[in-house]
Structure 1
C-alpha cells in the first residue's frame, strides 16, 4: 500500500512552458531575414525529416491571440518565447528595426500580460540571420556587436512588458552542431574555430548584460543552459577522470564564465596543451565577462551524461574532439525514451540543482526545459481527438518530485517550464516527435489540448500534486 504526500511548491512558482521563434512563429508578413535554418533547408532539404522546413511551423504569428487563451487553459502563469533577430532586423540582421516586428511582439507580450502570463523573453535560440553567418557568425566580433545592438533594441521596445530576459538558449548547441557534430549549419568539423565561436558567444552574453544594466529595468537577465550531470561508469580513477573532462567540455565551459565570470582553469590548460584555444581574445574581453554575469539561470534538463575511460585509441590525424578523452557509457538497465534516444533518469534533475546550489552561489534558477518527445501520438487519441498521454503526465510528475525534493534541500528554484506548449517544429527532426501539452494537426493547424494539458492546469492551480515519495532514490 502506497502512502502519497501532497507536494506543494513555493508561492508564486512559475508554471509554464517554452518554445522558440524559429520553431513556432512561421515567416508571416512582417518581413524577416533568411535564417541559417531556412538557408540550410533550401540547400539540403533531404536532411530534414519528411522534408518539412521552418516556413509555417505552428503559425503562431497569425494565431497568437488564440494561443494565449490556450496557455490559460493549460495553467500557464509564465511562458518563454524567443524574439527573432531576423524578424527584428529583416535587412540581413542589421539596418533599422522592423516596425511591424516590434508591433507583433508588443501585441503578443501585452496579450500575455493581460491574461496573467509572465513574459520570459529569450534573445537567441539558434536562429542566426544567414547573412551574418556569411560574415563569420559567432566567430566574428562584428556579429557580436550586431547581436548586442539587437539585444539593446529589444530592451528599449519591450522592457516594459518582459518579466525576465535571457541572452541565449543552449549556447553550447550551435557550437556542437556547427563545429563538432554536424547537426547545425554550416556543418564544419573544426574544434579551434568552435572554441572561438564559443568565446565570442560568451562575450556577447556579457556585453548584452552590460547593455541591459543601462536600462535600469525591474526585470532580471540571465541565460538558459542545457546541463546534464555527468556520471562516471565506476569509481575507477580512469573513469572518474574521463567524467571530469567530459563535464568540463559540456557543463563548465559555458556555466562557469556565464555565471561566475571566469573560465575553468583545467579546461583552458587542456586546450592550450592541444593548441585549441581561440585565437582572438583580449584582456578587455575577460574583464567584460567577469563583470557582467547572469542574474538568473535557466536549467534545461533532459537526460544524464554517462561516460567511461576510452577503451580504443584515437586517430592522431583525425580532428580534435572532446571524445579523445572519454567514451559514452551505456549503463545496463537504463530506462529509455526510445523515440528520442535519451535516457530517462529523473534524479538527474535533483543532482543538477544541488550542483548549482553548492558550486554556483545558489543563484536564482528555474527548470527552463524538461519534456518527453513521442512519435506517432495519433495512436493515443480518443474518439474526440484528444491525445491520452499518461506517459507524459508520469514523466512530469516523476521529475517534479525530485525538483520538489531539491527545493526542500535548499535549492533556489523558482519555476518549471515544460518543453513545449503546442507541438512545434524541431529543427532537422521537424515534427517527428511531439512534445506539446497541445497537439497540432499539421494539415489544418487545429490545436487540441492533450490529457497532459488538463493535468498541467490542475497542477498549476493546486501548486503541486500528490505523490508517493517512497519512490524517490535517496
Structure 2
C-alpha cells in the first residue's frame, strides 16, 4: 500500500521539476463548468416549472445541511452577463453549463415550450459567442421536472421519449451556435444516489433495483438523443454529442489478485455500469458485475436478476452512441477484497460490489468528506479509459477542490495545489498518448452544493450570497488558472501580484489581496 502511494507522489514531484518543458497544445480547450440549479436562481421566474430539487428543498429543508436551497443561488438568471465577463477575464476557451429542463419545457414534455426560457439561454449563449467562448451544453444535470418524476421519472420505461423530445427542442433552438452537447451529467449520481439510495433527489431509495433500472432507461434515453442529433441535426449543425461520467480512480490496496479483481468490480459498479454499454466493443452491462448481481438475486429469492438485460436491438442502439467521453474526476481511492468493508443495505449496489475502501490519511483532505488529493489519480483514470476503450476522445468536464467559508476566501492555496497537481496529471496523460481535448475547472463560481448547501465552496470566484447582486470576487486560484491558460504551462512558482481583474467597461472584480498582502477590504465589485 505505501509503495503505491510513494510512487504516485514521486511522479508529481518529477513533473513539477520539469514544468518549463511541458506545454498544453494551442488547440487544447481550457474552460470552467457549472450547473443550472446550482447557480441560476429564478426557480419560478416567468413560466418555469418545478424541478425535483425545488420540490425536495422546499418540502424537506432539513435534507440540506444549512437548510438552504437554489431559489436564488448566484442569480445567474439575472447576472449572466457578469458571468461571461468572468469567463472572458479568465481567458476561457470554453464554458460548460447546463440547461434547466423545466425552464424551457415547464411541464417536462414538449407540448409547451417557454419563450422566456428559450430567450434566456439564447442571450446567455450569444454573450459567450460574442467573446469567442465555446458553449458546451449539458442537457441534464440532475434537475428533472417534478411532473415527470410524478410519473416515475427515470424508472418509467417511456423516459427515453420525454428526453429525446426535450433534446430535440434544445438542438432546434441552440444548435446553430452550440457545437458540443452532453446528454447526461454523472449517471451514477443520478441513478445510485437518486434512485438506489437516499442521498440525492428524488430520494427514491429503491436499493435493490433502483440503480439498475434507472441505468438502463438513462442509457437508452442517451442513445435516442444521440442518434436524433446525428441523424437530424449534425449534418447541418456540424457538432458533436457525448455523455459525462464520473470517473474517480479506483486502485487495488495491494498487488494481490483478489485486490486487483476487487478494484475492477468497484470500477464497474461506480462507472462501468454506464460506460461499458456505450464505449466497449460488445456493449451491455459489465459482465463480472452482471454475474454477481444475477447470483446474489437468485440467493435472495428474486425470480430474475435485479439487473435488467438489454435486448439485442437495445444493445446495438446504445453501443457507440457517443462522440467523446466526458470525464468528471475529483479523487481516487484504494480497494480491498478483504479489508475495510462496511455494512450496506441488502440488497444494494454497494452490497453487490462487496469490497472495502481505504483512503490513506496522508492524502490532503478538502472541505468535502469524499474529496481528497489522491496522487496521480487523474492520470491513472485517463490512461485506463484510453486503453480500455480503444483511445476515445476525452474531455475532462469537471475537476475541482472544495474549501469551507472559514478557510480564507481568497487565498485558496489548497485549491491552487490541487489544480496544479491535476493539470500535471493531464499533461502526463497527453504525453502518454491519451486523446485529451479539453479541461473544465469546477467551478467558475461558488454555488449551491447540493446536500451541503453553501457550506462547501468550489469557486474560482467567491460569491457573496448575502449581497443584493450576488457579487463575485476572484480568488487566488482564478489568477493561477488564468496564468496557466495564457501560458499553456503549469508554473509551480507563479504568484499573482494582486487579485484585481479589470473588464472593458471600467468596472473591476477585486479581492482582498494586494502585492502578496492580505487585507480585510474595502471591496469594489459591480457589473449588472
TM-score if structure 2 supplies the norm length?
Answer: 0.83
Residue 142 (structure 1) shift: 2.2
Contact 2:341 2:355 in 1 (8 A): no
Q: Distance in 2 between matches of 1:397 and 1:315?
A: 36
Q: Distance in 2 between matches of 1:315 and 1:53?
A: 31
Residue 132 (structure 1) aligned to one of 142, 145, 148: 148
1:211 and 2:228 matched: yes
Cα distance per residue 1:447-471 (max 9 Å; x no partner) = 1111111222221111223349xxx
- Find the counterpart in structure 1 of residue 450 from structure 2: 427
Q: Distance in 1 between matches of 2:223 and 2:33?
A: 23
Residue 289 (structure 1) shift: 1.2
- Find the counterpart in structure 1 of residue 198 from structure 2: 182
Contact 2:413 2:476 in 1 (8 A): yes
Residue 440 (structure 1) aligned to one of 441, 451, 463: 463
Q: Distance in 2 between matches of 1:339 and 1:228?
A: 17
Q: Secondary structure at the match of 2:244?
A: strand
Residue 117 (structure 2) aligned to one of 101, 104, 108: 101
Greater relative contact order structure (CA < 8 Å, 6+ sep) = 1
Tell me: CA distance 1:32–1:337, structure 2 relative to 1, closer, same or farther (3 Å). same
Q: Secondary structure at the match of 2:113?
A: coil
Cα distance per residue 1:120-157 (max 9 Å; x no partner) = 00111111111111111111122221111000111111
Contact 2:167 2:225 in 1 (8 A): yes
Q: Distance in 1 between matches of 2:382 and 2:274?
A: 16
- Find the counterpart in structure 2 of residue 265 from structure 1: 287
Cα distance per residue 1:12-57 (max 9 Å; x no partner) = 2111111111111112623211111111112210111211111111
Which range moved further: 128-137 or 232-241? 232-241
Q: Distance in 2 between matches of 1:328 and 1:73?
A: 45
- Find the counterpart in structure 2 of residue 384 from structure 1: none
* Structure 1: segments with no counterpart, 5+ residues: 382-386, 469-474
- Find the counterpart in structure 2 of residue 113 from structure 1: 129
Q: List aligned pairs for 1:368-379, cutoff 5 A.
A: 368-377=397-406, 379=407
Q: Secondary structure at the match of 1:231?
A: strand
Cα distance per residue 1:369-412 (max 9 Å; x no partner) = 111100025x525xxxxx12122112111111121011011111
Residue 424 (structure 1) shift: 0.8
Q: List aligned pairs for 1:40-79, cutoff 5 A.
A: 40-79=56-95
Cα distance per residue 1:93-125 (max 9 Å; x no partner) = 442211111111111111101111100001111
Q: Distance in 1 between matches of 2:152 and 2:405?
A: 39
1:225 and 2:245 matched: yes
Say how many residue pairs are matched.
Answer: 461
Q: List aligned pairs for 1:85-96, cutoff 5 A.
A: 85-96=101-112
1:307 and 2:322 matched: no
Tell me: CA distance 1:332–1:64, structure 2 relative to 1, closer, same or farther (3 Å). closer
Q: Secondary structure at the match of 2:73?
A: coil
- Find the counterpart in structure 2 of residue 172 from structure 1: 188
Cα distance per residue 1:292-334 (max 9 Å; x no partner) = 5110111111111321124599989933332344343324443
Q: Secondary structure at the match of 2:140?
A: coil
Cα distance per residue 1:227-257 (max 9 Å; x no partner) = 0221121123332232221121112111111
Q: List aligned pairs for 1:32-43, cutoff 5 A.
A: 32-43=48-59
Tell me: CA distance 1:193–1:399, structure 2 relative to 1, closer, same or farther (3 Å). closer
Tell me: CA distance 1:310–1:27, structure 2 relative to 1, closer, same or farther (3 Å). farther
Q: Distance in 1 between matches of 2:324 and 2:344?
A: 41
Q: Distance in 1 between matches of 2:338 and 2:159?
A: 38
Q: Distance in 2 between matches of 1:309 and 1:221?
A: 37
- Find the counterpart in structure 2 of residue 406 from structure 1: 429
Q: Distance in 1 between matches of 2:334 and 2:310?
A: 32
Tell me: CA distance 1:360–1:316, structure 2 relative to 1, closer, same or farther (3 Å). closer
Residue 338 (structure 1) shift: 4.2
Q: Distance in 2 between matches of 1:425 and 1:326?
A: 33
Contact 1:257 1:293 in 2 (8 A): no
Q: Distance in 2 between matches of 1:75 and 1:227?
A: 27
Residue 60 (structure 1) shift: 0.3
TM-score if structure 1 supplies the norm length?
Answer: 0.92
> What is the aligned-residue RMSD (CA, Å)?
2.2
Residue 279 (structure 1) shift: 4.8
